[in-house]
């Protein structure tokens, strides 16, 4: 289905679906990211965090990322929600600097479920919202998306959800969020879906979601897959720490693309870009053009 979806176009940005898989690089402006890559854990001096984040984002773009996802609040299991003011203090300097210095076609995403953070991030230069609660935590988020006419990633979040059968649960969750978005005036072509691997799901349920990822295509929108360095990978590979989950992440990326994922959200852009190129070549049966290797 992803091959037949029309492009998502807004402002100066464009996402084509089906021709290639897009790579989203993760910038965690946190001291406590589960993956150990939080900018504030590397550069405790917050005055230098924006410069460090820019260096990381520039490397991601050079390695092939077309999207950069900036988040200021850890979403690891048991995380403590940040006050809005603290989240803004972390992400706004980073987004402003990225908007000034990254290539103009780069898509800067704000990873937040708080409408005020999303609003100010968009005004600072972000152009896409990545909401881990799919508009269901903050009732004003759908309004912000509609007012700014930007794409939104709706992620299924099973934390606190009474589950029955995980694929059906995810489909229902996402369908409800899609209805909420449309009712607020969000355009259909602005919606992107994420199954929410690891968000209130067991390792067994994560494997089921990955095995049956293609069923989400029935909702008619592009799929983002975020499995990078997640705990299920570490568990399956013998309790490996996050930094040693590269090959396991690569397997989920390749098989996710085969199931219809249009975007992969990753920490290791250089390595996953190679996996994406190979997977896309097999999926489309087309060789890379000269200069694209």
Rounded to whole angstroms, how far apart are CA atoms 32 and 76? 8
Residue 265 known to be catalytic: yes
Helix, strand, or coil (residue 24): strand
C-alpha torsion angle, residues 71, 76, 79, 81 (rounded to 10): 30
285: left (phi over 0), alpha (psi -120 to 50) or beta: left
Rounded to whole angstroms, how far apart are CA atoms 91 and 123? 12
Q: How far is CA 292 from CA 217, 261, 268, 271, in A?
A: 29, 21, 19, 15
Residue of 119, 265, 274, 283 marked active site: 265
| Cβ–Cβ < 8 Å for 82, 72 | yes
Residue of 230, 270, 277, 283 marked active site: 230
Rounded to whole angstroms, how far apart are CA atoms 203 and 212? 14
Sign of CA dihedral 20, 244, 27, 161: positive
| Cβ–Cβ < 8 Å for 166, 208 | yes
Residue 76 known to be catalytic: no
State the catalytic residues.
230, 265
């Amino acid at each position: 289905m992803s091959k037949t979806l029309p492009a998502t176009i807004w402002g100066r940005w464009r996402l084509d679906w089906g021709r290639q898989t897009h790579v989203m690089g993760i910038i965690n402006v946190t001291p406590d990211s589960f993956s150990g890559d939080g900018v504030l854990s590397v550069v405790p001096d917050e005055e230098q965090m924006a410069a460090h984040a820019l260096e990381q984002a520039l490397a991601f773009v050079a390695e092939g990322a077309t999207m950069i996802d900036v988040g200021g609040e850890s979403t690891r299991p048991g995380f403590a929600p940040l006050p809005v003011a603290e989240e803004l203090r972390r992400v706004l300097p980073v987004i402003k600097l990225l908007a000034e210095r990254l290539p103009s076609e780069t898509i800067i995403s704000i990873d937040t479920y708080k409408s005020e953070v999303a609003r100010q991030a968009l005004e600072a230069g972000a152009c896409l919202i990545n909401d881990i609660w799919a508009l269901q935590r903050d009732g004003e988020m759908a309004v912000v998306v509609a007012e700014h006419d930007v794409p939104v990633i709706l992620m299924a979040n099973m934390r606190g959800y009474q589950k029955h059968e995980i694929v059906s649960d995810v489909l229902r969750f996402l369908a409800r969020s899609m209805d909420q978005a449309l009712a607020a005036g969000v355009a259909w072509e602005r919606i992107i879906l994420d199954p929410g691997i690891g968000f209130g799901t067991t390792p067994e349920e994560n494997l089921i979601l990955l095995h049956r990822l293609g069923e989400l295509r029935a909702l008619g929108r592009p799929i983002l897959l975020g499995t990078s360095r997640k705990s299920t990978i570490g568990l399956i590979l013998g309790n490996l720490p996050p930094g040693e989950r590269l090959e396991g992440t690569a397997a989920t990326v390749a098989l996710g693309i085969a199931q219809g994922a249009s975007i992969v959200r990753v920490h290791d852009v250089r390595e996953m870009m190679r996996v994406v190129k190979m997977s896309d070549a097999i999926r489309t049966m087309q060789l890379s053009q000269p200069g694209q290797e």
